[in-house]
Structure 1
């Protein structure tokens, strides 16, 4: 597996699967110049960190299941699912298609499409909620 793929896999495990919010771990994997577009919404690095912090307060656990990953050079594409166990009960399942770009062993951008497969209607924005 190429190192860009492993960086993305590690980032998903450390920032999503880990139930504890850690700005330090985010900083390991994501450039301070990071930009993300999720379902038409734009987040910069600080907004992404806040987004992840908010998700950790609303969820008990999030688990990524990687369905496929393809990498070439500094570009990585993933198709994965995220199972969300909410703090107040209930689950949601999301399908994610993501295109990552890396530079200097950090993720600098992500263009993502997120689709809720199951869950409450109010959870549809979890991929970009701020």
Structure 2
């Protein structure tokens, strides 16, 4: 992929998976060997799917900002993104989390993701939103 294709691919993934919380679309974007490390916690594809299912249970609405920073390495097929996520839980509480994510792409699938998250407000309630799971 080139930078434009990778950015569109990841934008589509965020819309379908993070904003839309569409579990059925996970195989469209993520390799069978997928794993991610979020705030030092490593999870595989099955655990990531559980994370999205947990978010679907607890979240009323998620909005992803436009990407503030993007960096693409065409040779390595890696895309680094910085953005914020606005989250409204079903209990009515809301918060904002900043994320920096580095995606490794392979054959139009996401192979790996390394990300760090930082709650910008309501830190106690939203500090684990990027990795919460049942």
TM-score category, normalised to shorter length? over 0.9
Whether the 8 Å contact between 1:5 and 1:70 is mirrored in structure 2 is: no
C-alpha displacement at 1:13, in angstroms? 1.2
Unaligned residue ranges in structure 1 (runs of 5+): none
2:11 pairs with 1:9:
yes
Deviations 1:26-84 (A, max 9, x none): 11111111110000001100000000110111100111112222212211000010000
Length-normalised TM-score, structure 2: 0.90
- The residue aligned with 2:83 is 80
2:99 pairs with 1:99:
no
Length-normalised TM-score, structure 1: 0.93
Q: Point out the structure with the larger strand share.
A: 1
In 2, the alpha carbon distance for the partners of 1:108 and 1:6 equals 17
- The residue aligned with 2:116 is 113
In 2, the alpha carbon distance for the partners of 1:118 and 1:76 equals 27
Cα root mean square deviation, aligned: 1.2
C-alpha displacement at 1:126, in angstroms? 0.8
Unaligned residue ranges in structure 2 (runs of 5+): none
In 2, the alpha carbon distance for the partners of 1:120 and 1:103 equals 34
